[in-house]
Copies of this chain bind each other. A is one copy, B any other.
């Protein structure tokens, strides 16, 4: 028998997730607030439902909506998924929502006798489509165990980091780490370049070493060219630093280098680079180093 899986939200991320499930042979029922947006998945074999409540017979339902309020809206109320949770065991939320909304959703699910796995995704819809996404999940082990085989068919890995809302914090930690990495890369690239090294060759070398990551290799052409076309804006990076450092304040964890990076991100936004790519950190560093401005 094919698994009976539901999907609430068929925007770019939801559609990418749904396609991976259909490709794996999973039986999929989908719903979206704007019904026309379910059409690509229906063309691939999914069944469209009229209300979230209609998915309550599925054993697992994925949620991929765009905001905190949308998450609560699809779960709660007379037409919500949790109204009559007939057969539903676990809700897997892949949306990017606040910890408060996630905790509220977890409580609503618990009240209905349903499990809740917070599973934000590392990777954009193109990464998900390529099967390269990585999920960071938090939920009690038994609930994660229900979701894990499906997460493993969507992406290449799913790691459970805790019982509750830890996955949201871990996603922020990931983005703090990314921001510091970009600033460190900006500093050493400026030093190598001012010392006479070829910028592109330097980045190519760094990408080949043990400290090289896919991110460094993927962004080397843009950084070599000084291209600030946004992939992730400086302003969005600041939002994650605001949230991540607030979480660190709450947990009483000092963040020396992340805190300084926060202010350097602020300096890039102060110079008017908020809507440019987060490689703006290099633009500011290059200017402070007396190098020709990138781009």
Query: Residues of B contacting A255 with CB < 8 Å?
Result: 187, 191
Flag whether A1 is at the interface (Cβ < 8 A): no
The answer, yes or no, to whether A83 is at the interface (CB within 8 Å) is: no
Q: A170-B202, A257-B183, A258-B188 are in contact. Are A251 and B210 (CB under 8 A)?
A: no
How many chain A residues touch B (CB < 8 A): the figure is: 71
> Taking the complex as formed, is A43 at the interface, i.e. its CB lies under 8 A from any CB of chain B?
no
Identify whether the interface residues of A are mostly helix, strand, loop, or mixed.
helix
Interface residues of A in 156-215 (CB under 8 A from B): 156-157, 159-164, 166, 169-170, 173-174, 176-178, 180-181, 183-185, 187-192, 194-198, 201-202, 204-206, 208-215
A164 CB contacts on chain B under 8 angstroms: 196
A206 vs B171: C-alpha distance in the bound complex, in angstroms? 9
Chain B residues within 8 Å of A290, by CB: 252
* Contact among B162, B181, B256, B288 with A211 in the assembled complex (CB-CB below 8 Å): B181
Q: Which residues of A contact B (CB under 8 A)?
A: 122-123, 127, 134, 136, 138, 156-157, 159-164, 166, 169-170, 173-174, 176-178, 180-181, 183-185, 187-192, 194-198, 201-202, 204-206, 208-216, 218, 244, 247-248, 251-258, 260-261, 264, 285, 288-290
